[in-house]
Amino acid sequence: MGDVMHTMDPQDPTHKRLAQVGSEIAAEHKIRVVLLVSACWTTDKRPCLTAAPDPVTMHEHPCQCLMDFEYPVPGCPHITKQIRKVLVDGGLQCTQDNKRGIDHGAWVAMHCLFPDPDQAPPVVQLSLINGYDTAEHLNMGKLLDPLRDEGVLIVGVGNAVSSRKQFELSFIKQYKMAYFRATNWSQETRDKQHLIPIALKSVADWAEEFDIWLACLLESTTGEQRNAMVCEYRRHPLAALAHPTPEMITPLIVVLGAASLGGEGSDCTGRKIHGSFQHSLSLSAFRFG
């Protein structure tokens, strides 16, 4: 996901690549709904599904220049009901929210994959569970796996490497600025300062090392071996830097659960479809199936 302004720019490499991926998936599969697991939504004790027929575009992100942005994509209450039944029948209690809109993690991802909301599939969001227990979220993904054969595209939104504090500190070090948030600047100011292109080229060595480890793991292992190794990511010596809090990597664990029942074949193999950095934020994206 990274810093929102970058991924919202149609000329940004991440946006352009993910739009291509969205077009490819839509051409290959009939998508009834996108089931989106965003790092921006966590609920207590049990997961929750959105069920609003016309979810509002939430503006919970502090970017003032995006407060007027709208992504009017429909919800799908009847599929929410179906997904909830799948989870409950699998032993995982689940609630639904009939009013909640789609958060910025959801609409950034959808806007990248399907830039025109009029051509986008409906969206249902699924929350993470507070505590971010890896086994619990892996099991949740496994319960969702059969839905993939019924036209449900499962998308996890987070970061392969995510240290917002290190991202902001990098600008103090490089530009002697007390604070930096690109999203508060006008395009004219950004063009004058030339800081954003530099930031995109400035990658923390430790962040790149963790990102390479994760990519190699996802592309070279499958099934339960891969699941176990990703779920134990905290054992990596750089994990505390790469993920000081667990919410940004947890959506990946849900997706891995949903991609692990296809055996050891191509359906289970991870493919890196995009890679870019914003210092200590990795925008690496992977596709399964």
**pLDDT tens-place string over residues 136-182:** 999 999 999 999 999 999 999 999 998 766 665 555 455 444 334 44
The residue behind tokens 């962040």 is 207
Q: What is the CB neighbour count within 10 angstroms for residue 93?
A: 10
DSSP 209: H
Q: What is the CB neighbour count within 10 angstroms for residue 260?
A: 22
Q: What is the pLDDT of residues 4-45, one digit of tens each?
A: 666 677 777 888 999 999 999 999 999 999 999 999 999 999
Secondary structure E strands in 83-216: 95-97, 123-129, 152-157, 161-162
Compute the distance between CA of residue 8 and CA of residue 115 in angstroms, rounded to an integer. Answer: 9
Check if CATH label 3.30.43.10 holds for domain 4-162+205-288: no
Compute the distance between CA of residue 94 and CA of residue 83 in angstroms, rounded to an integer. Answer: 9
* Continuous segment of H or E residues that includes residue 50: strand 48-50
pTM: 0.87
* Continuous segment of H or E residues that includes residue 87: helix 77-89
